[in-house]
Amino acid sequence: MIELTGLTKKFPKSKFPAVDDASLEINDGEIMGFAGLNGAGKTTTMRVIAGVLLPSSGKVLANGHDIVKDKIAASRTIAWVPESPNFEPDSKPAPLLRYYAGFFGVSGNEARERVDKALETVGLAQYTKKKLKNYSQGMKKRFSLAVSLVAERQNYLFDETLNGLDPEGLQFLRKLILGLKKEGKAVFLSSHILSELENLADRVAIIHRGKIVSITTPDQLANTKSETVKVVVANPDDKLRSLLAEYGSLEIRGGSITIRNFTGKTSAVNRMLLDKGYDVRNFSSEASLEDYFFSQVGEAK
Amino acid sequence: MNPVLHEMRRALTSKSVIILLVVLISLVGVLTYAFSAFGTQTTASGLQVQDNAVLLNATGNYTVVNYITNAYGAPIQGYQIQLNATEYSDNRSSNLFEANLTTSASGYANYTFSHSKVNSSSTGPQVDISIMSNNPGQQGINLASLALYDQLNAKDPFQYTLSLISDPGHPTSSGFLLSYRSINSGSSPAVNLFLDKQPQSYSGINPGLKNATFLGTYSGFSNVAVYPSVNTSDFYQVLVYNHNNTTSLYNGSFVATFNSGSPVGTYESIVLVLVSTITGYILILAAIFVGYFIYGKDRALGVADSVLAMPISRKGLILSRYVSGSLTMLVLSAASMGLAALLIHVLQGASIPLQFVAILILGLTSTAMSFLGLMYLFSHLTKSTGALIGVSIFLFLLFTIAWSMLAVFVPMILGFTPGSAGYNQMYVVLIFMNPTSITTVATEVYYSSISTTGILSPSMYGINVYSLSAMILLWVLVPIVLAFYLAIKRD
């Protein structure tokens, strides 16, 4: 379990705090999504939780241990998979993983077994003779995942880990994250791929300009008015825009129409279009995180 | 593996450090060899110990025996000697012979001459033999004079002689070299050696064995080095008796604390200091490199973050890396100075006191640790590898080149006249403020502890063990403590 209480991080030469009075809890067995625009404060928050940055004020507790005052105990419970992993470039993966295992009191044959298993799990078993400086960015991410697996932790931080992974890697990571949830671990997952967060996360925290502007659940999401309607008509014309303008913000590309922040009844709109003689080929509506996200960010502005 | 051990192994087994070690060892080997080879030609005057005797052989010829050793009693090969013999007859004198000799590997350079007129005379010696150094740069320095008063004097079947030497393991302790010369070139029969502490300077009278300490029975020697337990500045008499202590064969004396046998100013110590000075600069570069490699670069590139995310405190991270860096510096210093001392022993037959080698290792390691600490400190004050490299170059140039100019000019700028006491004091204070001077100051303090001679006249300028400790604390501790503070309190 991770608890943030009034977490603030201000960099010396910056006018505004990168993280501003952020409070949230990530419970055991929960996947907390973390969404925000570039520079919103996602990575800074993750780095403070990981113990890499010092908070300016506020508190981070990992399983009850303060990340500043009781760093060693807190760090024992946290696995951090950074957005851009940097490891000793001249090291080979296995010795470096054994080194990391040493921090958890794992050594000797046990360390060797765990390292072999972790490398096998992330698909790097056949690349152990390569130095890390010769790894691609994707391989470095996989290695970073192996670091998080080499010793058992209770809390997992994935910072934009989905970015840059190939489809196989994405699938592996989804399985891994869901597996961790099943095992009762707390997972904090930041991503730009909002649909992934929608599918994986139990709750999603949205951060904007350092402030957590909302924390929502998929159920709450379903009830939100931020609904998007997508319509495809075979015979579009100039009147379509004036007919649909009152239902939300429009995006028309030929016969494809997207109505964001839809207000009204979808069945009534569908009927109206048919009555007006439009050949409606597709009519769908969904409450999406993306819309919700933009609505929240917009409100925060 | 334990993370701290991993850090140490990582530093010590990194390709770069191994290359540095190989370069340093090779450089030390070449420098020591070169300086030592040069030194056999220019052994400093006053350092060698000579034993001379004239023997009348059974064939009726006289042999002048010259035996040259270093201050520790080890034979010196290649030492050049000039003999000048003058014959006196009534009130006239004339040159009898002149000979140039070079000592062999066993330290001997003997000369045999034939003369039938060495008779007793009431007016003085009949033959006077002057023994001088003929080494380049030392020509004419008198080593000894031998006078043959009569044939009987040289016809003694054997002679024991005593030379003062220093204990290689304890340079401030005296020992003695007992030599045995006989007309048939044989070695000494079994004799008992005794030491008697004298209340005052040597009287020349055999004090007897009543209060003497038995040192042992020695036999079959031409030269034997003995290092009895003695007190500094006390007078001692060495007594040589036959095997059943019924006949006194010889007695001679020495004063404990034989300064010329200390490492101060000895050629081998000068070689070691020269080598340590040059390797000192390499070690500074090594410290900068190691500091950059194991800490600065990792911080600037974010590699340290991956470690900091592990269960290790910020203090633990910097401490483990500082300890491993310092250990690397200690290994490099000890390996280079150890090798230099070993080579000097092999090439010159001189034993450098371990204490002196340890002082040099302490000085070099402290200097290297200072630069290591400065690198750690500036790793927290700079934001990029480029800036850190720039600062490293600046620090190196400042302390190795620019500082010596500052030490010369700053006192002048402040109005002190060069050569004045104030100028000298200011100069010494400025020297203190430079971490590259730690080794120099440490050796000065060591010198002053065993001798009154020294380059800087240390005590006059407050150079003592306390100021040395303060200097080491200032340069070794302050940068790393500040780095610790920044590591704990700042990102």
Check which CATH number belongs to the domain holding B173 and give it: 2.60.40
CA B81, chain centre distance (Å)? 24
> Among B156, B189, B215, where does a domain finish?
B156
Query: Higher pLDDT residue, B117 or A181?
Result: A181
Is residue B311 assigned to a domain? yes
- Comparing A23-27, B197-201, B247-251, the range with the smallest average pLDDT is B197-201
Enumerate residues 6+ apart whose C-beta is below 8 A from B237. B195, B196, B197, B198, B202, B206, B207, B251, B252, B253
What is the domain partition of chain A in residue ranges? 2-216, 224-300
- pLDDT over 90 (residue B257): no
Q: Note whether B135 and B254 are same-domain residues.
A: no
CATH, domain range A2-216 = 3.40.50.300
When CB atoms are compared, the residue of B2, B14, B309 closest to A75 is B309
Whether B373 maps to a domain, the answer reads yes
Q: Are residues B25 and B55 in the same domain?
A: no
- Domain identity same for B325 and B437: yes
The answer to whether the CB atoms of A98 and B1 lie below 8 A apart is yes
Model confidence at A31: pLDDT above 70? yes
The pLDDT, as a whole number, for residue A13 is: 83
Do B295 and B414 fall into the same domain? yes
Number of domains in chain B: 3
Q: Is B308 close to A51, i.e. CB distance below 8 A?
A: yes
Residues B354 and B47 sit within 8 Å (Cβ to Cβ): no
How far apart are the C-alpha atoms of B302 and B296, rounded to whole Å?
10
A89/B3 Cβ within 8 A: no
| pLDDT greater than 50 at residue B260 | no
- Contact between residue B329 and residue B369 where contact means Cβ atoms under 8 Å apart: yes
ipTM greater than 0.95, yes or no? no
Contacts of A87 in chain B (CB under 8 A): 303, 306
Least confident of A161-165, B51-55, B386-390: B51-55
Angle at the Cα of B18 from the Cα atoms of B17 and B20, rounded to 5 degrees: 60
Higher pLDDT, B199 or A70: A70
Give the residue-averaged pLDDT of B167-177: 67
What share of chain B has pLDDT > 70, as a percent?
Answer: 80
pLDDT at B123: 54
> Is 3.90.470.10 the CATH classification of the domain at A224-300?
no
Nearest to A285 by CA among A268, A298, A297, A299: A268
Please report, to the nearest 10 degrees, the dihedral formed by the alpha carbons of residues A178, A179, A184, A187 taken in order.
-50
- pLDDT bin (cut points 50, 70, 90) of residue A195 is confident
Q: Supply B133's token pair.
A: 């150094």
**Domain annotation covers residue B95:** yes
B165: pLDDT confidence band, cut at 50, 70 and 90? confident
- Average pLDDT on B171-192 reads 80
Residue of higher predicted confidence among B208 and A116: A116
- Work out the minimum CA distance from A113 to partner chain B, whole angstroms: 14
Domain boundary among B226, B243, B259: B259
* pLDDT cut 90: percent of chain A above it: 53
With beta carbons less than 8 A apart as the criterion, state whether B109 and B81 touch.
Answer: yes
Q: Is residue B161 part of a domain?
A: no
Q: How far is A171 from chain B (nearest CA, A)?
A: 25
Among chain B, residues having any CB pair with chain A shorter than 8 Å are 1-3, 6, 10, 14-15, 298, 301-303, 305-306, 308-314, 316, 489-491
Option in B310, B490, B491 nearest A103 (CB): B310
In Å, what is the CA distance from B210 to each residue of B207, B214, B247, B311?
Answer: 8, 11, 14, 74
Whether B259 has a pLDDT exceeding 50, the answer reads no
Last residue within a domain, chosen from B203, B236, B259: B259
Same domain for B429 and B298, yes or no, is yes
pLDDT (average), residues B328-353: 82
pLDDT at A38 (0 to 100): 85
What number is the average pLDDT over the span B56-72?
A: 78
Query: Is B109 in the same domain as B14?
Result: no
Same domain, B231 and B152: no
Instruction: Evaluate whether residue B417 is within a structural domain.
Output: yes
Asked if pLDDT for residue B97 goes beyond 50, the answer is yes
pLDDT band, residue B215 (cuts 50/70/90): very high
Please list every residue in chain A whose beta carbon sits closer than 8 Å to the beta carbon of residue B296: none
pLDDT at site A224 = 64
pLDDT for the residue numbered B251: 81
pLDDT, greater one: A226 or B466: B466
Report how far residue B51's alpha carbon sits from residue B114's, in angstroms, rounded to the nearest whole number.
21
Q: How far is A53 from chain B (nearest CA, A)?
A: 6
| The pLDDT of residue A57 | 95
Given a contact cutoff of 8 angstroms between Cβ atoms, the answer to whether B163 and B254 are in contact is no
Compute the average pLDDT of residues B292-301: 89
Q: B20 and B68 share a domain?
A: no
Distance CA B486, CA A63 (A): 28
B271 and B385 housed in the same domain: yes
Rounded (to 5) percent helix, strand, coil in chain B? 50, 25, 30
What is the reported pLDDT for A88? Answer: 87
- Per-residue pLDDT at B33: 82
Q: What is the pLDDT of residue B153?
A: 53
Query: What is the pLDDT at residue B121?
Result: 55
Q: Do B1 and A51 touch (CB under 8 A)?
A: no
Residues B431 and B479 grouped into a single domain: yes
* The pLDDT of residue B288: 93
* Share above pLDDT 70 across residues of chain A, in percent, rounded to a whole number: 95
pLDDT for B151 beyond 70: no
Q: What percent of chain B stands above pLDDT 90?
A: 23
Residue A159 contacts residue A187 (beta carbons within 8 Å)? no
pLDDT band at B156 (very low <50, low <70, confident <90, very high): low
To test the contact with chain A by mutation, choose from B305, B319, B320 the residue with the greatest count of A C-beta atoms within 10 A, namely B305
Is it the case that residue B152 has pLDDT exceeding 50? no
Average pLDDT along chain B:
80
Which residues in chain B touch residue A90, judged by CB atoms under 8 angstroms apart? Answer: 14-15
Residue B64 lies in a domain: yes
Mutation target among A44, A71, A83, A98 for the B interface, most CBs of B within 10 A: A71
**Residue B70, domain extent:** 48-156
* B184 torsion bin: left (phi>0), alpha (psi -120 to 50), beta (else): alpha
Closest B-chain CA to A147: B306
Residue A52 has pLDDT above 90, yes or no: yes
Interface touch B303/A89, C-beta < 8 Å: yes
Q: Which of A72, A88, A111 sits opposite B311 (nearest CB)?
A: A72
B374 and B310 within one domain: yes
pLDDT above 90 for B43? no
Confidence band of B173 (pLDDT split at 50, 70, 90): low
- Name which of B490, B71, B451 is nearest A54 in CA terms: B490
CB–CB contact A50 B311 (8 Å): no
- Residue B95 scores a pLDDT above 80: yes
Contact B24/B336 with Cβ under 8 angstroms?
yes
Same domain, B424 and B367: yes
Q: What pLDDT does residue A198 have?
A: 80
Predicted confidence band at B139 (pLDDT cuts at 50, 70, 90)?
confident
Question: pLDDT tens, B103-137?
Answer: 998 888 888 887 765 554 555 557 788 888 887 76
Contact A88 B489 (CB under 8 A): no
pLDDT tens for residues B410-436? 889 988 888 787 888 888 788 778 899
